[in-house]
Structure 1
């Protein structure tokens, strides 16, 4: 796994994510190799105790905490309080599971409490579904807050993704995962390389 992380890092992504949710097949408890400073480490948590989030933030020198559960406004405020004291440069992202019935009013209570949102495809369990949600719903996005687009994005989505990136939506990053795996947690570097090159192609 350490070698695979290092391989992916050679592609110079903006972020690398590490899942600290024990029920996930991508659960990570290994060693992160030295990464170029420009690559930010994202820790993914699901309804985790704040004390453990802080401990892992310290252990792995995380740059971003991604909350992927049912965390409340109060939880985020408590977490931000600890981060302000201990790791003031660490960002917080709040993820939402989206389908065609998603109500964007759900994000309002977090608007001024997190640094970005993440929209993933809604499924029965926490974690990737391998499927995209209907991006048409993003036309209803009511905020200027940056967001990360996630959810089953693969090589087949390059063309519609390029069109989406031409809009004025505040898309901060593209999160790719299961569609670029040879097994849970292990990335296909050649497929990722193709994706990056195709996305850049004008």
Structure 2
């Protein structure tokens, strides 16, 4: 099971977390977020895919960040339309390296999965996060039973308030037939916004990978 650590902000902490070899590390470009990234990314393993997280950002800004930071995936966390995603996908196709596009949808108790249909075949993954006050990092999980009727074969990433206390529930949902591609963690492993507790992340990774 792939693991993404999102909301990275500080150079030394980025390096420390990268030593755990998560599959993805996320960097948020949204000035209203306490995890807004505005510095340089230190050298990390090429095996770790860097993810740029954007909220309704102009495509030229997204492309600028790709060139600057070498992102391998883009997480769209706003109200990006299908037309936006199609335009972005066509521009990404001209780049020398392929990039994944993830579209985020927020869930509380229920979800209308027909909202996903226009994005099928355009995005590589959906990401389901907790619907709350903030654009991510709200610190609590949504009702995962809402996913039992997921109708698509497009893989998705499970996010929203996931921490050490969710290990048993995670193992249960990972043993279903749902096409879960990765687990995304953030606020439950923070000392402060953007600063991750490396030791707890290591415990999480080791616990999750047992029997998964």
Q: TM-score range by the shorter chain?
A: over 0.9
Say yes or no: does 1:181 pair with 2:190. Answer: yes
Consecutive aligned runs of 4 or more in structure 1 exceeding 6 Å deviation: none
Q: Which residue of 1 aligns with 2:90?
A: 81
Partner of 2:100: 91
Any unmatched runs of 5+ in structure 2?
Answer: 1-9
Of structures 1 and 2, the one scoring higher in RCO (CA 8 A, sep 6+) is 2
RMSD: 1.0
For residues 88 and 12 of structure 1, the distance between their equivalents in structure 2, rounded to whole angstroms, comes to 21
**Residue of structure 1 in register with 2:45 after alignment:** 36
Shift of 1:168: 1.1
Name which of 4, 24, 34 aligns with 2:33: 24
Partner Cα separation in structure 1 for residue 177 and residue 97 of structure 2: 30
| Aligned-partner Cα distance in 1 for 2:96–2:82 | 20
Deviations 1:99-147 (A, max 9, x none): 1131111111101110000000001332221010011111111111111
Give the Å deviation of 1:85. 1.2
Q: TM-score, normalised by structure 2?
A: 0.93
| Pair 1:136 & 2:145 matched | yes
Equivalents in 2 of 1:115, 1:22: separation in Å?
26
Gap runs ≥5 in structure 1: none
How many residue pairs were aligned?
202
| TM-score, normalised by the number of residues in structure 1 | 0.97
Task: State the Cα distance separating 1:87 from its structure 2 match.
Answer: 4.7
What is aligned with 1:157? 166
